[in-house]
Structure 1
Amino acid sequence: MRITYRMMTSKYSTNLNSISSDLDKLNTQVATGRKYARTSEDVSSAVKGYQIRRNLSKLEGYQDNIRHAEDFLTNSETTLGQVESSLAEATDKILQGMNGTQSEGDRKIIASELRMIQNQLLETLNTNTSGMYLFGGSNSEKPFAVVGGKLQFNGRNLDDLNEDTAVEKELVASLKQDSLYVDIGLGVSFDQTTGEVDRNTVFNYSTSGINFVGNGTNLTVISGETVSNNLYDLLGRIATEFEKTDGDYSFDKVDKLYGLFSENSLKTYQTTTEIGAKTQYLEFMTSRYETQNFNLQERQTKVEGVDAAYTYIAFQSQKVAYQAALQMGQSVVQQSVFDYMS
């Protein structure tokens, strides 16, 4: 069979295009580090890669949520430290006022200082960060306010929340459990009856202020008197006693009020401990997800990635072959008069 010039040039062009296509594919692999640029090139690997990428995306979302919760908890712990400092300062002032050497004028000065601490405490309890109140639960408004001289939490007078009835107990429980939640990969599920999120499947990262400020009243600490259990009003009651004249001032009442104040102050330290435990749990989850992330990225490299050394050598070899084919073309493709026309 006679091999014509047209057959030679056609075959040469086909082979050159094939070499060029392979060179371009290898060049893309070297540049991107991926086995394929389109799903159609390797459907099986592409499906596996998609699943891995989806899992990586979920992990990234969980890690973002954890960082947000950690920041919130850090701010909460710092602010609770300020509350503890205010309570410690108030304790010092109360003990100073209870000293028998203090005059009526001295006690009034101490009472004034206690009321200043009250104001500081109220401001601290309403601390806002990034548009969210640290101790307000899910409430977007200031959680604590003084109305008629009494402290309120989320619009409810704390003295009225005595938990004497089943209704009050349910109300107080809901206020104490009111919180901000975030998905950190615990498997979010919903209650089939109420449609609400199961709180055991999400992470509670905020603290409702009522948990450590206190609620309800005490009828036994001072005979014949109803005394507020919350720290703010209790501090004000002690200040009121210090403001009395020598004839009306009662050391015994202050002593009893101070005992109740000291007992209720412990709730702030308990809350700080709880926040620390939550932070430690988030650190554990962070470490766990970092390990998972590393393993998934390693698996992704095996599924989607190429052997860098092998691919680079193949690319250089293909590049040499392409250059050789171009040189060979000078012999295969004959020159014509059109090559000299400009």
Structure 2
Amino acid sequence: MRITYRMMTSRYSNNLNNLSVDLDKLNTQVATGRKYARTSEDVSSAVRGYQIRRNLSKVEGYQDNIKHADAFLTNSESTVGQIESSLAEATDKILQGMNGTQSEDTRKIIATELRTIQSQLLETLNTSTSGVYLFGGSNNEKPFVVVNDKLQYNGTNLDDLNEGTPAEIELLESLKKDSLYVDIGLGVSFDQTSGEVERNSVFNYSVPGVNFVGNGINSTTVSGEDVSNNLYDLLGRIATEFEKPEGDYSFDTVDSLYGLYQSNSQKTFQTTTEIGAKTQYLEFMTNRYETQNFNLEKRQTQVEGVDAAYTYIAFQSQKVAYSAALQMGQSVVQQSVFDYMR
């Protein structure tokens, strides 16, 4: 059978196109490091790769949430440290005022200093970051305000938050639980009855101020008087006692108030410990997700990636083959033309 010029050029053109397609595919693999550019090229690997990418996206979201919560806790811990410093300074002033050698005028000066610390304490309690109050729970307004010389938290007088009636207990518990939550991969679930998110399935990264400032009243510290348990009002009450004239001033009253103040101040140190525990847990979760992310990326490379060395060698070999085909084609086409002219 006679091989015509058209048959030869057609066969050569097809072979050259196949070489070109393979060369382009290898070039893409070398450039991207991926086995395929379209899902249709490897459906099985593409499906597995999609699942891995989805898991990677989830992990990335959890990591972002952890960073946000960790930054918030860092600011909270720093601010609680400032509160502790203010309370320690107030302690020194109170002990100084309780010294029996102090005059009436000196005690009044100390009372003024205590009220200054009181104002600083209120300002610190209302510290915010990025428009969110550190100790206000989900409230987007100042959580601590003074109304009629009494401290309020999220619109409720702290003196009224006693653990007496069921209604008072329920209100106090709701304020203590009103925190900020974030999903860090604990498996978010919802209460089937209320439809609300289960608190154990998300991470609580805020500390409501009512938990450490104090609430309710104490009827036993000073005889015949209901003394506020919260640190702000308690400092004001001590300052008021220091401001009294010599005949009305009572060392025993200040001593009793100071004992209550010292007892309630311990809650701030407990809060620091609580924040530290939450921060450690976030560190644990961070390490866990870093390991998970590494394993997922490794698996993604196995599913979607190519062997770089093998692919590069194959690409270079294909380039040589393609160049040789072009050179041979010039010779074949030229010879065929001469044959055709005969």
- TM-score w.r.t. length of structure 2: 0.98
> Do residues 43 (structure 1) and 65 (structure 2) align?
no
Residues 191-216 of structure 1, C-alpha deviation per residue, up to 9 Å, x if partnerless?
01000000000000000000000000
- Tell me the amino acid that sits aligned with residue 125 of structure 1: L
CA–CA separation in structure 2 for the residues paired with 1:178 and 1:271: 16
- Provide the secondary structure at the position in 1 that maps to 2:334: coil
Which residue does the alignment assign to 1:68? 68
Which residue does the alignment assign to 2:190? 190
Which residue does the alignment assign to 1:220? 220
Gaps of 5+ in 2: none
- Provide the secondary structure at the position in 2 that maps to 1:208: coil
Residues 86-118 of structure 1, C-alpha deviation per residue, up to 9 Å, x if partnerless?
000000000000000100000000000000000
Which residue does the alignment assign to 1:323? 323
- Provide the secondary structure at the position in 1 that maps to 2:179: coil
CA–CA separation in structure 2 for the residues paired with 1:223 and 1:125: 30
CA–CA separation in structure 1 for the residues paired with 2:199 and 2:209: 19
Residues 101-160 of structure 1, C-alpha deviation per residue, up to 9 Å, x if partnerless?
100000000000000000000000000100100000000000000000000000100001
CA–CA separation in structure 2 for the residues paired with 1:10 and 1:198: 70
CA–CA separation in structure 2 for the residues paired with 1:262 and 1:81: 16
> Do residues 262 (structure 1) and 272 (structure 2) align?
no
Which residue does the alignment assign to 2:109? 109
CA–CA separation in structure 2 for the residues paired with 1:325 and 1:161: 89
Structure 1 residues 263-342: aligned runs within 5 Å: 263-334=263-334
- Provide the secondary structure at the position in 2 that maps to 1:246: coil
> Do residues 89 (structure 1) and 89 (structure 2) align?
yes
Q: 1:332: Cα distance to partner?
A: 1.7
- Provide the secondary structure at the position in 2 that maps to 1:187: coil
CA–CA separation in structure 2 for the residues paired with 1:90 and 1:329: 95
Q: 1:333: Cα distance to partner?
A: 1.7
Residues 40-61 of structure 1, C-alpha deviation per residue, up to 9 Å, x if partnerless?
0000000000000000000000
CA–CA separation in structure 1 for the residues paired with 2:328 and 2:270: 84
Q: 1:331: Cα distance to partner?
A: 1.3
CA–CA separation in structure 2 for the residues paired with 1:315 and 1:226: 87
Q: 1:238: Cα distance to partner?
A: 0.1
Which residue does the alignment assign to 2:152? 152
- Tell me the amino acid that sits aligned with residue 273 of structure 1: T
Residues 267-293 of structure 1, C-alpha deviation per residue, up to 9 Å, x if partnerless?
000000000000000000000000000
> Do residues 251 (structure 1) and 248 (structure 2) align?
no
Gaps of 5+ in 1: 338-342
- Provide the secondary structure at the position in 1 that maps to 2:56: helix
Structure 1 residues 202-241: aligned runs within 5 Å: 202-241=202-241
Identical pairs, percent: 82
- TM-score w.r.t. length of structure 1: 0.98
CA–CA separation in structure 2 for the residues paired with 1:213 and 1:113: 20
CA–CA separation in structure 2 for the residues paired with 1:14 and 1:330: 15
Q: 1:334: Cα distance to partner?
A: 3.0
Which residue does the alignment assign to 1:340? none
CA–CA separation in structure 2 for the residues paired with 1:283 and 1:330: 67
Calculate the aligned-residue CA RMSD, in Å. Answer: 1.0
